[in-house]
Structure 1
Amino acid sequence: MHCGATTIGSERTVRIGAFRRIMAASPSYLERTGTPKTIDDLRGKRLFHYDGAMCDTIWLWKDGKRYRVPSELASLCASTTGPLMGLVLEGKGIVLSTAVFMCYRELRAGRLVPVLPDYKEADKPVSFMLHSERADRSIVKEAIDFLRSKWQEGEGLSSI
């Protein structure tokens, strides 16, 4: 079995890497409305929630305690991040959860800043799924190794 592989029935998943999700807002929005310091401070803010296939209930950790982000308070929910990130970049609110790699350039340029950076979401795994009968083929192993190497050198995939 290839390192980091899990077999379920006739399918095998191989872990390629992981990514981090964060809350983010534009500096102008936070200057106008104040920067939240706790989860409770999110109440009364304009919140945007990505409610797509890659997003589940948002749980964050701080000092060994688990906190649930009140996504039901979101002003707007969308199944794609594009419209939400456009609004956030215009200073209209806070996105409750977005993958760092999706907004890495904006974070680096200072157009977005992490909100509640002391509260951390668990890393989300990225896996390669294949049929177990084909898993031992050399071309499959080469593809997995290639994807892992590209993932590890990718910008914005590690935590901020």
Structure 2
Amino acid sequence: MDRSDVTLERMRTFVRVAERGNLSAIARELGVGQSTITRQLRELEEAVGVPLLSRTTRRVTLTDEGSRYYADSIQILRLVEQAGDEARGTRGAAAGTIRISCTAAFGVLHASRLIFAFQDKYPEIAVDLSLTDERIDLVREGVDIALRLGPLTDSSMKLRPLGESRRLLVAAPAYLAARGTPVSARDLSGHEGIRMSNVAGSDMLILEGPDGRSHSVPFAGRFRVDHGLAAREALIAGRGIAPTHQWLVDDLLASGRLVPLLPDYALPSVPLSMLIVPERAGIARVRLLVDFLVEQIRGIPGIEKAKP
């Protein structure tokens, strides 16, 4: 391999093609001809000595060698970016791009607003916000920070617990007027439930009663959905009862469009955490956003102090 032919420009082109799978799209994005993209890829493969991409008439995919080279390329390019950021940071400049992944509904209702405030404070920092409830590979996707609900197992990331997300049962007054208001946990089995299809065990509610005992209640319904904002709309429309995060419906509770149910019973809370890619944790702008979010998320309704 002639290492002098493995240039950062060719590596960046390869990474973009690997992520998009389309040569013409990358050519348009970079403002060059498709032949230029093809040439850069060919020259990189010749320098590396193995085929990195498999090309068909409709799509470009990674070979096995290409998948490994892509993961390494991401790390190399980010180290190059980090070196430049740190050099600029010696002049005290809070600038550059931060890439964030966030649980979808939480991102729409709360994280985006906090990011706006952060950018007002640091106008030279750009933020690329990706909203998804899927657990993604942060390094592979080029993400610096992720905000996630639920238990986390990725020990390769730096984890900052942000708090516990309080959950409660709610419904619209119109639904309760038509179907009656449950007064005990066992009453729920006769009601229409709004369920999350991407949450394991959503067909069973676990509630802690006023006596401290745990109650398992079958929970069924005709509407299942994989996005919190759609569940919110179903609640507003009076489609049933749902266990929901307080931050998702706090404004609707305040206005009376939804009401809480079974106040003497408690649903298990859910941990809210921040994951930080270790190699990015030392970058000044990333540190600024991490500290800002840790401080501001405490003020979101229903986010309680993390359990020790």
TM-score norm. by structure 1 comes to 0.78
Aligned partner of 2:275: which letter?
M
1:83 shift after superposition: 3.3
Question: Which residue of 2 is the match for residue 64 of structure 1?
Answer: 212
Question: Which residue of 2 is the match for residue 125 of structure 1?
Answer: 271
Cα separation, partners in 2 of 1:83 and 1:16, compared to 1, 3 Å: closer
Equivalent residue for 1:39, pick from 177, 181, 185: 185
1:30 shift after superposition: 1.3
Answer with 1 or 2: which has the greater Rg: 2
Q: How big is each residue's C-alpha offset from its partner over 1:29-58, in whole Å with a ceiling of 9 and x where there is no partner?
A: 212222111121012211111222588664
1:156 shift after superposition: 4.5
Equivalent residue for 2:221, pick from 74, 80, 84: 74
**Aligned partners of 2:171 and 2:238 also within 8 Å:** yes
Cα separation, partners in 2 of 1:109 and 1:157, compared to 1, 3 Å: farther
Cα separation, partners in 2 of 1:156 and 1:54, compared to 1, 3 Å: farther
Runs (4 or more) in structure 1 with deviation over 6 Å come to none
Aligned partner of 2:298: which letter?
Q
Give the length in aligned residue pairs.
150
Distance 1:130 1:81 in 2: 24
Aligned-pair RMSD on alpha carbons? 2.7
1:117 shift after superposition: 2.0
Distance 2:273 2:159 in 1: 6
Aligned partner of 1:19: which letter?
S
1:121 shift after superposition: 1.6
Question: Which residue of 1 is the match for residue 161 of structure 2?
Answer: 15
Cα separation, partners in 2 of 1:157 and 1:109, compared to 1, 3 Å: farther
**Aligned partners of 1:7 and 1:13 also within 8 Å:** no
Q: Matched residue of 1:69: which SS?
A: strand
1:85 aligns with 2:232: yes
Q: How big is each residue's C-alpha offset from its partner over 1:77-112, in whole Å with a ceiling of 9 and x where there is no partner?
A: 1112333332321223212x2111111110000110
- My pick for the range that moved more, 39-48 or 52-61, is 52-61
TM-score norm. by structure 2 comes to 0.43
Aligned partner of 1:86: which letter?
E
Question: Which residue of 1 is the match for residue 175 of structure 2?
Answer: 29
Cα separation, partners in 2 of 1:113 and 1:87, compared to 1, 3 Å: same
**Aligned partners of 1:36 and 1:116 also within 8 Å:** yes
- My pick for the range that moved more, 80-89 or 97-106, is 80-89
Distance 1:7 1:32 in 2: 43
Q: How big is each residue's C-alpha offset from its partner over 1:62-90, in whole Å with a ceiling of 9 and x where there is no partner?
A: 2221122323x222211123333323212
- My pick for the range that moved more, 22-31 or 104-113, is 22-31
Aligned partner of 2:223: which letter?
L
Distance 2:262 2:214 in 1: 14
- My pick for the range that moved more, 117-126 or 81-90, is 81-90
Q: Which has the higher helix share?
A: 2
Aligned partner of 1:89: which letter?
I
**Aligned partners of 1:10 and 1:133 also within 8 Å:** no
Which segments of 5 or more consecutive residues in structure 1 lack a partner in the other structure? 1-5
Cα separation, partners in 2 of 1:7 and 1:36, compared to 1, 3 Å: closer
**Aligned partners of 2:236 and 2:257 also within 8 Å:** yes
Percentage identity across paired residues of the two chains: 29
Question: Which residue of 2 is the match for residue 112 of structure 1?
Answer: 258
